[in-house]
Each structure stands twice: as structure tokens, then as C-alpha cells.
A and B are shown apart, each in its own frame.
Chain A
Amino acid sequence: MNLKTQGFVLLDVDVVALNNAGKSSTSNFENAVATKKILKNGRTYTYVSGQAWRYWWREALQKNVGWSLSPITRDNKIAFTEANPLLYADDDVFGYMKAVKEEVLDEKGKAKKVDATVTRVSPLKNSAIVSVGSARTVENWSSMARQDGDSVPYSKEEYSAIMKGMFSLDLAQLGTFASYNKTGFKNITQKLKMDALSQGAIEIDDPFVKDSKGNAQKLVQLNRNIRLQRAKDTIQALKTISGGAMQTNNMSDVTPKFIILVSTTSGNHPFSHIVTSEGMNLDRVALNLDGLKEVLKDYKEQIVGTVFIGKRSGFLNEYNDELRELLALGDAYPTIQLGTINETIDAYCTQLENQFS
């Protein structure tokens, strides 16, 4: 089945500079670093680029979940990962590109080198993390003054905000590889394909791509337990994800304080509009629970199993009663389960065990 994990998270951060944008052009200081922000209608929205969130995620998988990350070769002008998704789960989940030549025997039994460039589109897609409401940044004056002589002033831009992020993990794509050129997305070489098959991987039909004779092309798929474990690990890593710039002075917890996890049969990400901002300066965050109900009803047919919603106690407590009302929505809606953040992640992963084929 074409299953996706669709996730939505809210972070709550105080006095941070999570992702910086280089030298500030608006500061009076020469040593001034700006944070990443978007200006919209005269208001500032801070953000962390999607690339940075992925970096935190990969690190969390290594440090807290025990993944052994694909080694990076970095010569003078060369940088690439192993591109071995059999051995390295992060190559599988995060994608790669590597240009290689592979030695094969031609029809006369003579060794020749053929192009075996591989690329993989990431099954894990994530948004940027953007402040829900406008966030007023402040320039924090600092100085390095422990040495003799003049102190060295510098500044950085900090903010407090509730931030939103979303992701989509393609469970059907996870651990499933094309060894032929599918519009330029050949995932594995012939050699890796043979290795995979000898290690218990199976071949399945590509539902869409056919060869010149009209037969379905074959995809190589790792065994269910490996794929399931990779999916669970990826989601579990959110419990302990950490990262962001300026952690020494501006350490902040970037684990979700609100999370929605759901399996869908569709690539559509339905939860992008369930938080809004209110107030004169659009700086107060509101959960749009009517919007959430609308999504749950509209996409009930595409939602498989339960919708898991988790919230950290103390965060947006004014919505506790309204969230509890979701439990009794009736037959027109999918079933909903509420819990703490970690309970919710665990419960979703348990559901995944039954859904994964």
C-alpha cells in the first residue's frame, strides 16, 4: 500500500538564534550575526531552513538512536556519502547522489567500466520550521573582554517563538530501490542489487514503470523488519532531536511540544493550516481546531488507523478542553488518541507495526 506518515509539530523556543543568516546588514556592530527571518507585511517571521532541521534529525538518529551514518568522502573537490542504502539507513531515508563507475564483464568476458551513477530522492520530506506568529527579534550585545586591551564587541539576533514544522515520510519508498534508470532516479547499482537479493531482499513490480517489452520493471525491497525499524527510528528520533546554532549561550529544547502523527494513503500533507496567529501584531498563536476537524472529516477516507495527537502539559493549556472534545467527534471522523509527546510517538509506532506490509 502507498502509505505515508504525515507529521506536524510545534516547537516552543525562548531566546534562541536557531539558524543564522551570516553577517547582519542592519546592525551598527561590525561583528553582527543575523538570524534567518522572513519579512511579511512589515512583520518578522523567524525560521529554520529545512536543510538545518534535517541536519538535526540526522544527528539525533546517530547520537540517540544509534544509527551508524553513511561515511562521507570529502577530498579536495569531492564530497559524497557511500550511497549504500542497504548498509546505511540514513542513505535510505535522506537520499543521496553519487557518480560511480562499476566494472562489469562484456559479452567476451572482458572487464569494462560502465557508468553507474546513482541518485535517490529522499523518502523523508520536511518543511522549514517557521514561527507561527510574528516574532520580534532583538539584537543582543555581547563582548569578549577577558583579554588585555580593548574588548571585542559582537552581537547576535535572538527571539522567542512558537514555531511550526511538518514532514512526510514515504513508507512505500523506504527500503525500496530502483536499479534501472527511472527518469534519472536510479537508486542502486547492479552490484548492490545482487548484494541485496543475496541478503534476503525481494523483487517487487514497479507499479508504474515498464520496460520496452511492456513488463513491469522490478524494484528491490529490503525485508519488512528492516524497513519498519527504519521508519520507527526516524519518528522516534523526534523525541530527542536537538540542534540549532549558538547552543552554548542560547540552548533550547527543539523537541516537539505539540505533535500530530497519522498514516495516509496520499501524498497530500493535510495539516499545514491548523495553527494561526492572532492579536494586533499577529504574535499570539492559536490552534485552529475547527480547521483540524475539517481536515479530519475531508480526508477520513485517506487516513489509515488512528490520528495521534500529543501535547506537552503546560504548552497551550487553554486548548486542553477543546482537544478532549476531539475524542467524541463521531463516525464522520477518524478515531483520535491524545497523549503526551512521547506516548503519542510510541503509540503511533505501535500502530505502524500493524500497518506496515
Chain B
Amino acid sequence: MQVHVIDLSSWTASFRYPNLISGVQPTLEVPPVSTVLGLLNAAAGQYLHHQKLEIGYYFQFDAKAVDLESIYQIDSTNGRATNNAKSNIIRREFLFNTRLRIYLTDPKLADYFRQPYYSLVLGRMNDLATVEQITTLDLPEVAYASRLAGQVIPFRENYLAGQIQALPKYFTDTFPRQNVGTEPYSVISHLTFVKANLPAIHDKNLGKAGTDIYLHQLDFSEHDQAV
């Protein structure tokens, strides 16, 4: 199967748990689909109205550490921010020396990374990222994935091991933004491999014995019409 592969790297990255608001902020070990689609938008310079989209990705890091930082916790009423803010010192986990590999079947989307419009960040403002290379590969398809790692897989119907988190697929460009397609996902770190009854593509260059990459089949057509 022909896929367009984008390799990105960053010194630091952090992906917050959507359901944790205060206290220690751990990081997810793999970015949610919405983060990767947000990165596509930053590269494109605009909000992309996807209808159907096929995308896979793999994320790895060298180390995890904890930062101490000041935050402003801002109150909201009916989804709108108020000026009620409390400053606080929190511990926030982050990942060090990270690599993100994105697999796209649509070459137009991959092309955005050749000259990204906005600065690319893996998580927050300080997590500046670099596009390492963009290649087109012909990767073999496997009917039953045996080496899934460094990615998120929808939990429903698959019931895979890994940390289970409710994660959004995308955000709307309305005000305020709404998350779209939130559902439970198994967050599978790059450190553990999982077998599944799932079709995937096999990338032999990831890890010692290769990694299977699940291609998310995203369908926003219903939602996009509603907007």
C-alpha cells in the first residue's frame, strides 16, 4: 500500500489528559488523533474540513520527566472563559526527544509539511517540532496486526491492552470549539507491542523487528455538513 510518510521530531512534547484539570498533569504517551489533525492544520495554515480521511501514526520518546510550572486556572461559565483565574504551581510531565511518524494516503495532505505555514509544535507552545523528512513508501498490508505500538487504537470492538482514555478525533472551528468523535481509545506506548485482530500496514523500519501501523478511517462527513 502506498503511503506518504512524514517524520517529525521535537526536543520536548506533552499531551495532556483531557479529563484532568488540576493537580499533577501527566502526559499521554501517544498523542490523540485530534493533536495530529491539529498539526496538519498548522502545516496547512488553515482549518481543514476533512470528509473521509485515512491516517496512521507512530510516536516514540527517549525519556519522561516532570516540569514545575506556573499556571493560571481560568474559570468558565457556559463554555466561555471568565476573568476568574487562580495562579498555581503544578507538576507537569513531558516527554523528551520525541519522534512522530505520520502515514497519509492523501499526498495533498503530506505536501503541507513541505512548507508548513505555522510553526509546528508537539503539544504546547514550547514543544517546537522539526520536519525531518517526507517520503513515499510502499508498505505491505497485514490482515492481523501482531506488533502494534506507539499509537492509539479505538477501544470499541478491539478491546486491546493499553491505557484506556476517552479522546477526541477532531475539534470544530466554531466558537467555542467543540470536540468531535470522542470515544475510548487504547493508548499503546511505543515500549510495548500488542497483537490484534486488526488490519494494519507493516513498517519494518520502526523498531528492531518493525511495527504494525493501524490506519484510522475517519469520517467527518456527517459532522461537517451539520456545520
Give B150 Cβ to nearest chain A Cβ, in Å: 18
Q: Are B45 and A125 in contact (CB under 8 A)?
A: no
Q: Are A267 and B69 in contact (CB under 8 A)?
A: no
Q: Tell me if A2 counts as interface (CB < 8 A to partner B).
A: yes
**Total residue contacts A-B, CB cutoff 8 A:** 137
| Size of the chain A interface, CB-CB below 8 angstroms | 56
- Closest chain A residue to B129 by CB distance? A269
Query: A125-B119, A272-B11 given as contacts; is B173 within 8 A of A183 (CB)?
Result: yes
Binary CB contact string for chain A from 24 to 58 against chain B (1 if under 8 A, 0 otherwise) = 00000000000011111100010101110000000
Give B76 Cβ to nearest chain A Cβ, in Å: 9
Q: Are B116 and A268 in contact (CB under 8 A)?
A: yes
Cα A77 to Cα B9 in complex, Å, equals 38
Which residues on the B side are within 8 Å of A127 (C-beta)?
Answer: 11-12, 126-128
Q: Tell me if A184 counts as interface (CB < 8 A to partner B).
A: yes
Cα A37 to Cα B62 in complex, Å, equals 14
Query: A40-B96, A51-B70, A272-B9 given as contacts; is B126 within 8 A of A125 (CB)?
Result: yes
Give A30 Cβ to nearest chain B Cβ, in Å: 19
Q: Tell me if B153 counts as interface (CB < 8 A to partner A).
A: no
Q: Are A115 and B45 in contact (CB under 8 A)?
A: no
Q: Are B85 and A4 in contact (CB under 8 A)?
A: no
Which residues on the A side are within 8 Å of B130 (C-beta)?
Answer: 268-273
Q: Are B85 and A78 in contact (CB under 8 A)?
A: yes
Query: A49-B69, A272-B10 given as contacts; is B121 within 8 A of A125 (CB)?
Result: yes
Binary CB contact string for chain B from 112 to 141 against chain A (1 if under 8 A, 0 otherwise) = 010111111100011111110000000000
Q: Are A37 and B83 in contact (CB under 8 A)?
A: no
Query: A78-B83, A127-B126, A184-B176 given as contacts; is B115 within 8 A of A38 (CB)?
Result: no
Which residues on the A side are within 8 Å of B66 (C-beta)?
Answer: 21
Task: Please provide the chain A residues from 172 to 186 with a CB less than 8 Å away from any CB of chain B in the complex.
Answer: 181, 183-184, 186
Interface centre among A51, A80, A100, A130 (most CB of B within 10 A): A51
Task: Please provide the chain B residues from 75 to 109 with a CB less than 8 Å away from any CB of chain A in the complex.
Answer: 80-87, 89, 96-97
Which residues on the B side are within 8 Å of A78 (C-beta)?
Answer: 83-85
Q: Are A22 and B68 in contact (CB under 8 A)?
A: yes
Q: Are B84 and A51 in contact (CB under 8 A)?
A: no
Which residues on the A side are within 8 Å of B84 (C-beta)?
Answer: 77-78
- Closest chain A residue to B96 by CB distance? A38
- Closest chain A residue to B125 by CB distance? A125
Q: Tell me if A160 counts as interface (CB < 8 A to partner B).
A: no
Cα A183 to Cα B37 in complex, Å, equals 15
Which of A40, A98, A181 is the one whose CB lies under 8 Å from B63?
Answer: A40
Q: Are B65 and A39 in contact (CB under 8 A)?
A: yes
Which of B87, B97, B131 is the one whose CB lies under 8 Å from A79?
Answer: B87
Q: Tell me if A283 counts as interface (CB < 8 A to partner B).
A: no
Which residues on the B side are within 8 Å of A38 (C-beta)?
Answer: 63, 65, 96
- Closest chain B residue to A80 by CB distance? B83
Q: Are A183 and B83 in contact (CB under 8 A)?
A: no
Q: Are B65 and A122 in contact (CB under 8 A)?
A: no
Give B25 Cβ to nearest chain A Cβ, in Å: 13
| Size of the chain B interface, CB-CB below 8 angstroms | 51
Cα A268 to Cα B121 in complex, Å, equals 9
Q: Tell me if A158 counts as interface (CB < 8 A to partner B).
A: no
Binary CB contact string for chain B from 174 to 196 against chain A (1 if under 8 A, 0 otherwise) = 11110000000000000000000
> Which secondary structure characterizes the binding site on chain B?
strand
Cα A166 to Cα B96 in complex, Å, equals 15
Q: Are A128 and B12 in contact (CB under 8 A)?
A: yes
Cα A127 to Cα B125 in complex, Å, equals 8
Which residues on the B side are within 8 Å of A47 (C-beta)?
Answer: 65
Q: Tell me if B46 counts as interface (CB < 8 A to partner A).
A: yes
Q: Are A266 and B96 in contact (CB under 8 A)?
A: no
Which residues on the B side are within 8 Å of A126 (C-beta)?
Answer: 125-126, 128
Q: Tell me if A207 counts as interface (CB < 8 A to partner B).
A: yes
Q: Tell me if A99 counts as interface (CB < 8 A to partner B).
A: yes
Query: A50-B126, A128-B12 given as contacts; is B117 within 8 A of A36 (CB)?
Result: no
Q: Are B115 and A181 in contact (CB under 8 A)?
A: no
Q: Tell me if A242 counts as interface (CB < 8 A to partner B).
A: no
Query: A99-B83, A183-B47, A184-B175 given as contacts; is B116 within 8 A of A266 (CB)?
Result: yes
Q: Are B9 and A267 in contact (CB under 8 A)?
A: no
Q: Are B177 and A184 in contact (CB under 8 A)?
A: yes
Q: Are A166 and B128 in contact (CB under 8 A)?
A: yes
Which residues on the A side are within 8 Å of B173 (C-beta)?
Answer: 183
Q: Tell me if A251 counts as interface (CB < 8 A to partner B).
A: no
22 contacts between A and B (CB under 8 A): A36-B67, A41-B63, A49-B67, A77-B84, A79-B85, A99-B81, A115-B80, A117-B81, A128-B12, A167-B128, A168-B119, A168-B128, A170-B118, A181-B175, A183-B47, A183-B173, A183-B174, A186-B175, A208-B45, A265-B115, A266-B117, A269-B130
A contact set with B: CB distance below 8 Å: 2, 4, 20-22, 36-41, 45, 47, 49-51, 77-80, 97-100, 115, 117, 119, 121-122, 125-128, 130, 164, 166-168, 170, 181, 183-184, 186, 207-209, 265-273, 302
The 6 nearest A-B residue pairs measured at CB: A50-B126, A208-B46, A40-B63, A181-B175, A38-B65, A267-B116
